[in-house]
Chains A and B, each alone.
Chain A
């Protein structure tokens, strides 16, 4: 109850500030201090957004980006769970995973781009590699921490109840470390989303599918500034929806409901 109230309040203040921000924006735009190609007014941006929604292009590109990031997240999550499970079980693997993470975690995906182009080309595979690289290391860090924080009693109970190793991981370790796994996915999502947009802005298909980053880049090369803002708006919107709706709702239905956080 209390929680909901404060949530409502947060939304309210946020809305207020968005309105303030839009008013500032429009005031500057209407003052004609800057050319429209630098500072387009809100109706112009809204129209650009509306047009690209009607033509279906921005939806198509957004869908494309979301599909890619979902694939990347799933692959990254699966690989992270596998490596983390090995790491908490074996010293040697722990050393390996730890070393890999130490080396790869600080490397921004974009810095690897020249290598990725040579090794994986410029297609979906290359973008997937960048996404997986962005998500897997923070996920491993979170998941191994989560696995190590699991009270041994859960595993022992699981063994006593007749679970095999696979089930111990799937049915005990993952749910027991879900708060950590979730925060790993959150960080992974944020990093992957940024990496995806940046990568798409660097190479994309000129024709149909290039994703949201590509959409923005295309507006840029054809000097369609309102179109750029339309693309940015969609990026922000997706960020907020995923963070506040998808993750928050998932948390509400799982770890919060289970009294784990």
Chain B
């Protein structure tokens, strides 16, 4: 499904812009002054791509993603999706958090996925919704855990369930804020593979925030590197045209790694 197209994704100008940020600024009030976090940021997200947003901790990645999702209002500039101003969270932009708590603990895994389907009347009937929910749980490889409660699941399974819940609503874009950041290394790798598989099967657009260079290289079509907080906005947006599946040490891997690495401000990250 569009695999070929993506693999020769050499020319981004051919792509449709889905989300467009124009000179977005955002600052937070501190005791006396205000703390500028986003400073005139502009960015386009193309339909169908995986965009990795990479930067040191505290640089404003979460803040950026929350503006796109519609959770917070930017101070100035505009966030548009398909030409329309983003003013509030919507089902077509689903956020996935790093926090395992995003599942509702009082619902089973199946109910967690089913509930928003019912609220949004996605399926024609309850039976149809149930069918959809089961299908997405299968997609994230959670079959057999439908009736478990979230507290009975491992961290990786919780993130899978959260992905199933988001995908079942057929959003246009997934906004993922370090979704695998709290997982152990092995689980993280397997979830990265799973995410790629899902992306290929559904064609959903993904904006993925991460502070892990390898994760960015393994998954993305482009890597937007942010500088230190409030200073530079995006330092550079690097196209990542490596052939998939990507393996560490494969052709071109170390070059792109070095390029990204050199852009990262590791020092003063807590300033």
Q: What is A's interface to B at a CB cutoff of 8 Å?
A: 151, 153-154, 156-157, 159-163, 167, 171-172, 175-176, 178, 254, 257-260
Closest to B116 in A: A161
Q: Let me know if A161 and B150 touch, CB within 8 A.
A: no
Given contacts A153-B99, A156-B71, A259-B150, contact A161 B105 (CB under 8 A): no
Which chain A positions have C-beta within 8 A of B115?
Answer: 161, 171
Q: Assuming A156-B71, A160-B93, A260-B106, what are 19 further A-B pairs, CB within 8 angstroms?
A: A153-B101, A154-B102, A156-B89, A157-B95, A159-B71, A159-B88, A160-B69, A161-B116, A162-B116, A162-B169, A172-B104, A175-B104, A175-B106, A176-B104, A258-B149, A258-B151, A259-B149, A259-B150, A260-B151
Closest to A157 in B: B102
Most buried by B among A151, A160, A175: A160
Which chain A positions have C-beta within 8 A of B99?
Answer: 151, 153
Q: Let me know if B120 and A259 touch, CB within 8 A.
A: no
CB-CB contacts below 8 Å: B11-35 with A: none
15 chain-A/chain-B pairs, Cβ below 8 angstroms = A154-B102, A156-B71, A157-B102, A160-B93, A160-B95, A161-B116, A161-B165, A162-B119, A162-B120, A175-B106, A254-B106, A258-B105, A258-B151, A259-B105, A260-B106
Closest to A164 in B: B119
CB-CB contacts below 8 Å: B97-153 with A: 97, 99, 101-102, 104-106, 115-116, 119-120, 149-152
Closest to A257 in B: B149
**A148 → chain B closest CB, angstroms:** 16
Q: Let me know if A160 and B119 touch, CB within 8 A.
A: no
Closest to B149 in A: A258
Which chain B positions have C-beta within 8 A of A157?
Answer: 95, 97, 102, 104
B201 within 8 A of A: no
B10 within 8 A of A: no
Within the assembled complex, what's the spacing in Å between the Cα atoms of A172 and B116?
12
Q: Let me know if B89 and A160 touch, CB within 8 A.
A: yes
Which chain A positions have C-beta within 8 A of B169?
Answer: 161-162
B264 within 8 A of A: no
Closest to A259 in B: B151
**A116 → chain B closest CB, angstroms:** 38
Q: What is B's interface to A at a CB cutoff of 8 Å?
A: 69, 71, 88-91, 93-95, 97, 99, 101-102, 104-106, 115-116, 119-120, 149-152, 165, 169
Within the assembled complex, what's the spacing in Å between the Cα atoms of A172 and B106?
9
**A174 → chain B closest CB, angstroms:** 10
Most buried by A among B106, B150, B165: B106
Partner among B101, B106, B119 whose Cβ is within 8 Å of the Cβ of A163 = B119
Partner among A156, A161, A167, A258 whose Cβ is within 8 Å of the Cβ of B106 = A258
Within the assembled complex, what's the spacing in Å between the Cα atoms of A236 and B94?
53
Partner among A162, A259, A260 whose Cβ is within 8 Å of the Cβ of B152 = A259
Closest to B108 in A: A258
**A92 → chain B closest CB, angstroms:** 22
Which chain B positions have C-beta within 8 A of A257?
Answer: 149
Within the assembled complex, what's the spacing in Å between the Cα atoms of A163 and B88?
12
Q: Let me know if A156 and B91 touch, CB within 8 A.
A: no
Most buried by B among A153, A161, A172: A161
Closest to A167 in B: B119
Shortest beta-carbon contacts, A-B, top 7: A259-B151, A161-B116, A175-B106, A160-B89, A159-B89, A162-B91, A258-B105
Within the assembled complex, what's the spacing in Å between the Cα atoms of A171 and B116?
11
Which chain B positions have C-beta within 8 A of A259?
Answer: 105, 149-152
Q: Let me know if A153 and B89 touch, CB within 8 A.
A: no
Within the assembled complex, what's the spacing in Å between the Cα atoms of A163 and B90?
10
**A123 → chain B closest CB, angstroms:** 39
Partner among B94, B104, B151, B152 whose Cβ is within 8 Å of the Cβ of A154 = B104
Within the assembled complex, what's the spacing in Å between the Cα atoms of A138 and B67?
39
Within the assembled complex, what's the spacing in Å between the Cα atoms of A159 and B69?
11
Which chain A positions have C-beta within 8 A of B102?
Answer: 153-154, 157
Within the assembled complex, what's the spacing in Å between the Cα atoms of A160 and B71?
9
Most buried by A among B93, B104, B115: B104
Q: Let me know if A151 and B101 touch, CB within 8 A.
A: yes
Closest to A151 in B: B101
Which chain A positions have C-beta within 8 A of B89?
Answer: 156, 159-160
**B170 → chain A closest CB, angstroms:** 12
Which chain B positions have C-beta within 8 A of A162?
Answer: 90-91, 116, 119-120, 169
Which chain A positions have C-beta within 8 A of B104?
Answer: 154, 157, 172, 175-176
Within the assembled complex, what's the spacing in Å between the Cα atoms of A162 and B89?
8
Q: Let me know if B105 and A160 touch, CB within 8 A.
A: no
